[in-house]
Structure 1
């Protein structure tokens, strides 16, 4: 499919929702892609089934703290530089690019790369949401090496890394990104078309568009966007969603530490919702507790949305006084296997609570 401006708006909203607070500001990414469309460039999104098994796919993305992105806007050339450098190292041109995650700006960086280089963008990703660390990919869970990878900054400086494993790749590249100012742009997890079909979470870009469209049309029809969203989710791989809290943000603590945005948000209940919800953050929303009781936990999605507009709110944009609705969503089954939870389950974030699917919580 050829992406239109309306598709792009819906994608940015839906990707911000799926990103569960992380992945960078979707507004910035939308403007970057819109500029490509205004220049007459084509953004061609393809289904994974359209890939030849021997095609070379090189995902592209931003890494680092989303808070830094507010003051350090990309041009798009950074990620292109990383892809080109990795192509040179591999001795082969990419046949396509794709997102490593479907959250925020990282749903749109590959669109810019694809438009500028004339490459198709695969409708899939490696997280099914956003996660803070690069080893937290379904690609890696199911056997793909993230290395070699390239990290590039806005000055064109780049570093080629070969980690002993995906966790070592994350550790090395995080230090490079910090030296590059807290965020940088990468190409990694190069793989075949067959591997994409085996390891990626499929059709998440079109899902993000469906979510954005659902919210937009519900508001235009003067319907509850939250009700419309909860009706849509069972038709997708994310087959269960529920509202777990509504209230007012009364405190946000946030700092940039070790290349991540770390913090928490406290929300006092409004209306029928009693108590106080506290959400812990590492780039993304990790765990939501109400008066100490877990209501949702990673890898399931915890999405903070404006109660009036139903716009998803990224972690760097949380503010005191916002009236918010918190929605929890079940991730696809391939993200809940024991192998997957070993890579991005609660204990990988230092949380003591075990993973409990939101549909089983009371």
Structure 2
């Protein structure tokens, strides 16, 4: 059922989305920075955003909109200038074809992705569809259901905060749309073309992206993962209300309200170090948590992809399965990878010595089945040094229990 978001709803929305983002999806800091400027005035004509379900999205076309680039770089944005201009370019292209753009959709679950989609919708008088392309955040475009559904990626506009617009047009071979195999390849090609663009000084490591225009008949096929904005909003409200004060309470909430069988994959420990390198539109790094004699290490490329326990010979979680941080004690409990460090590279003092627990859960079915999405995750894990197959979270957990016994 359709409903409206207001400025006060953006904080719980971005908090809940950050948890589901598996360490990525943009920083809470960048999402908050954008949200605090969401007021009716010279930039925004309204302070409300309409959210519609996939079934209700029948009044026109939809387009995916996002920031693409390094989370630390995006922290400086005050208004979503690049994403807005990118969508305006899509609107103009569709208007020339007598097609109406009615909806925007976030690419993934994440604080920045949901916030940007909401703000672009408010700016342009559109609605946001209550769905996304992964149910978590992902490092690359081929990992999204839009790519797996072989939605034509043209037109695709990438726009800097300063208004420099680049259109990426990968012309299909053989026919107007190309064959199914070609369309799967195109998302990877577009990704490879975009990363050097955002790394250019004119873009400063990030830009606004609009691509994957979907007609109403294509929206359902392209978005099998539904209700993710509402899920994030409700989790954020529960956090704000103090109903989730520990990792175990979070696990209980996920089971009861989201149907997610999450589990703690670490003992509560202290965040002892984190490292990051920003290049090519990615934040790449490691996070280390010390719990007694054990060191838990999370490897990420914007999003957390792999976690290790120093007491075990194999990983304790592999993407596309998700892993999130839960910080106990007083204060904010949810942090993305980019929120763990300050601009000078030091650890975020808000966390201090508060207990940090890693919570993991299995990815949506669409991300786990053989094909483009899972292959893309495995290729990325190979670059991080993992050369084995995808092993589901519950299998890894059972193996750890067996070793402990």
TM-score w.r.t. structure 2 length?
A: 0.82
Q: 1:317 aligns with which of 339, 358, 365?
A: 339
Alpha-carbon distance in structure 2 between the residues aligned to 1:171 and 1:58:
21
Change (3 A) 1:38 1:282: same
| Aligned residues of 2:29 and 2:339 also touching (Cα < 8 A) | no
Q: Are 2:247 and 1:215 equivalent residues in the alignment?
A: no
Q: 1:349-360 to 2 correspondence within 5 Å?
A: 349-350=381-382, 351-360=386-395
SS at match of 2:236: helix
Q: Are 2:273 and 1:251 equivalent residues in the alignment?
A: yes
- 1:139-175 C-alpha deviation (Å, 9 max, x unpaired): 1112213332101111111011023611000111111
Q: 1:303 aligns with which of 302, 305, 324?
A: 324
| Aligned residues of 1:304 and 1:313 also touching (Cα < 8 A) | yes
Q: 2:205 aligns with which of 165, 178, 182?
A: 182
- 1:329-349 C-alpha deviation (Å, 9 max, x unpaired): 222222211125434433333
Q: Are 2:345 and 1:326 equivalent residues in the alignment?
A: no
Per mean C-alpha deviation after superposition, the further-off stretch among 75-84 and 322-331 is 322-331
Q: 1:169-208 to 2 correspondence within 5 Å?
A: 169-179=190-200, 180-200=203-223, 201-208=225-232
Alpha-carbon distance in structure 2 between the residues aligned to 1:224 and 1:41:
31
Q: Are 2:77 and 1:77 equivalent residues in the alignment?
A: no
SS at match of 1:202: coil
Higher CA-based Rg:
2
The alignment of Structure 1 onto Structure 2 pairs a total of residues equal to 354
Unaligned regions of 5+ residues in structure 2, if any?
172-185, 342-346, 399-405
Task: Give 1:315 shift.
Answer: 1.2
Alpha-carbon distance in structure 2 between the residues aligned to 1:232 and 1:224:
11
Q: 1:50-199 to 2 correspondence within 5 Å?
A: 50-52=56-58, 55-70=60-75, 72-90=76-94, 91=96, 92-163=99-170, 165-179=186-200, 180-199=203-222
| Aligned residues of 1:2 and 1:44 also touching (Cα < 8 A) | yes
Q: What does residue 275 of structure 1 align with?
A: 294
Q: What does residue 229 of structure 1 align with?
A: 250
| Aligned residues of 1:16 and 1:26 also touching (Cα < 8 A) | yes
**Cα RMSD for the two superposed structures:** 2.1
Task: Give 1:7 shift.
Answer: 2.6
Task: Give 1:42 shift.
Answer: 1.8
Unaligned regions of 5+ residues in structure 1, if any?
none
Change (3 A) 1:182 1:24: same
Alpha-carbon distance in structure 1 between the residues aligned to 2:270 and 2:40:
39
| Aligned residues of 2:25 and 2:113 also touching (Cα < 8 A) | yes
Alpha-carbon distance in structure 2 between the residues aligned to 1:95 and 1:41:
18
- 1:254-281 C-alpha deviation (Å, 9 max, x unpaired): 10122211111111114xxx51111111
Kindly report structure 1 stretches of 4+ aligned residues shifted beyond 6 Å. none
| Aligned residues of 2:199 and 2:279 also touching (Cα < 8 A) | no
Change (3 A) 1:26 1:192: farther
Alpha-carbon distance in structure 1 between the residues aligned to 2:377 and 2:6:
36
Change (3 A) 1:76 1:191: same
Alpha-carbon distance in structure 2 between the residues aligned to 1:343 and 1:216:
38
Task: Give 1:311 shift.
Answer: 2.0
SS at match of 1:261: strand
Per mean C-alpha deviation after superposition, the further-off stretch among 102-111 and 235-244 is 235-244
| Aligned residues of 2:303 and 2:337 also touching (Cα < 8 A) | yes
Q: What does residue 286 of structure 1 align with?
A: 305
SS at match of 1:338: coil
| Aligned residues of 2:37 and 2:79 also touching (Cα < 8 A) | no
Alpha-carbon distance in structure 2 between the residues aligned to 1:267 and 1:228:
21
